[in-house]
């Protein structure tokens, strides 16, 4: 029996913005199909870590691989970026000019060499999965924040990425709409998608995470299965205590 090898390997990564160190010797391995949660107080480096894995930032030291591919430096090839990692930000960032279906098919149509018919069918199947099939012709302004965020999730999925990255995807939503998005993420986890999720949603972490990394001041200070992560780490990640 061979041991499963990690699909994401972050090894000794440091990232500076001028004099500020945003990541200080951070190491993290994520197995295929795992839900890796990242918690920690505001400013601890969660977004920077996700942005480095998602190739939105270059790193100053260490290495990152996704599915065996080294990521450390910005790639110009946008297609391979979206094929490797799909990213969901705190705000859905949808174009006002495009309907839900147009939003989903735009990147696959321009970046993938696949027939339009197939891309549309897959987009519809994704919309159906998050309960938004009937919104295919709606514009973002006609959707709730939770619906918009679900569209942002399936927009990323439409590129069939190896790994999904979520940066506090419910932090801008009220609890009811946050619940819809968290349910969609839980369903996605159940399909075996590898996910790295920065979040303050303690319930989600407790119930869905395979592993939790606790960040503080640019470092990972605690790591383990959710039941082993201290309550204090969650309290601090809400920003109440420093």
Residue numbers of the site for ligand ADP (CB under 6 A)?
17, 20, 22, 40, 42-48
Smallest gap from Cβ 20 to ligand ADP, in A, equals 5
Backbone angles phi, psi at 166, to 5 degrees: -120, 120
To ligand ADP, the closest distance from the beta carbon of 51 in angstroms equals: 7
Q: What does 17 interact with, of ligand ADP, Mg ion, none (CB < 5 to 8 A by kind)?
A: ligand ADP
Structure tokens at 156: 């990323």
191 phi/psi in degrees, rounded to 5: -80, -5
Binding Mg ion (rule: CB under 5 A), the pick from 36, 44, 47, 148 is: 47
State the minimum distance, in angstroms, from the CB of residue 47 to Mg ion: 3
Nearer to Mg ion, 47 or 85 (CB): 47
For 56, other C-beta atoms within 10 Å of its C-beta total 17
Is 90 or 131 the residue whose CB approaches Mg ion more closely? Answer: 90
SS3 call for 27:
strand
Q: Which does 12 bind (CB under 5 to 8 A by kind): ligand ADP, Mg ion, none?
A: none
**14 or 65, CB closer to Mg ion?**
14
Pick 54 or 108: Cβ nearer ligand ADP = 54
DSSP annotation string for 115-179: -HHHHHHHHHHHHHHTT-GGGTT--GGGS-HHHHHHHHHHHHHTT--SEEEEESTTTTS-HHHHH
């Amino acid at each position: 029996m061979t041991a499963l090898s990690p699909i994401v390997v972050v090894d000794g990564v440091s990232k500076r913005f001028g004099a500020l160190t945003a990541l200080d010797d951070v190491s993290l391995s994520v197995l295929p199909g795992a839900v890796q949660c990242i918690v920690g107080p505001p400013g601890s480096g969660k977004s920077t870590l996700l942005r480095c894995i998602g190739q939105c930032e270059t790193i100053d030291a260490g290495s990152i691989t996704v599915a065996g591919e080294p990521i450390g430096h910005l790639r110009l090839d946008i297609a391979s970026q979206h094929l490797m990692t799909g990213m969901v930000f705190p705000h859905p960032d949808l174009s006002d000019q495009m309907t839900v279906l147009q939003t989903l098919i735009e990147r696959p149509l321009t970046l993938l060499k696949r027939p339009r018919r197939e891309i549309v069918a897959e987009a519809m199947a994704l919309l159906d999965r998050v309960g938004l099939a009937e919104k295919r012709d709606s514009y973002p302004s006609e959707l709730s924040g939770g619906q918009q965020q679900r569209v942002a999730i399936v927009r990323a999925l439409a590129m069939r990425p190896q790994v999904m990255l979520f940066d506090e995807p419910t932090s801008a939503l009220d609890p009811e709409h946050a619940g819809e998005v968290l349910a969609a993420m839980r369903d996605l986890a159940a399909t075996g998608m590898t996910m790295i999720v920065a979040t303050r949603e303690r319930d989600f972490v407790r119930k869905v995470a395979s592993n939790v990394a606790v960040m503080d001041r640019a470092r990972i200070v605690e790591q383990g299965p959710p039941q082993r992560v201290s309550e204090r780490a969650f309290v601090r990640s809400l920003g109440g205590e420093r």
